[in-house]
Amino acid sequence: MSKEASHEDGIRRLYSPEFEELAREALETERDTVIALRNDESINDEVLRRIQHDIDLAEARLQGRK
């Protein structure tokens, strides 16, 4: 096994499946919360889009670990 492959396996195993599931649930809750804040007019569409972008990036990082 190459040094690079070993490093990638270590990264994939950095978090337990339980942690990854909790992280996904937290991101889903965060997404629901910011949508509710926008619907309540506590934040505007621009702020919503910026936060959603950050959530999308975090979700993509989690999916990259599979």
- State the Cα–Cα distance between residues 64 and 59, nearest whole angstrom: 9
Is pLDDT at 1 greater than 70 in this prediction?
A: no
Which pLDDT score, from 0 to 100, does residue 8 have?
57
Rounded Cα distance, 18 and 22, in Å: 6
Q: What integer pLDDT is reported at residue 14 of this predicted model?
A: 66
Q: Dump pLDDT digits (tens) for 2-53.
A: 565 555 555 556 678 898 899 999 999 999 999 999 999 999 999 999 999 9
Q: Are 64 and 56 in contact (CB under 8 A)?
A: no
- Domain locations in the chain as residue ranges: 3-63
Q: Please check whether residue 7 is in contact with residue 13, taking contact to mean a CB–CB distance below 8 angstroms.
A: no
Amino acid at 28: E
- Choose between 59 and 11: higher pLDDT: 59
Q: What's the predicted TM-score (pTM) here?
A: 0.72
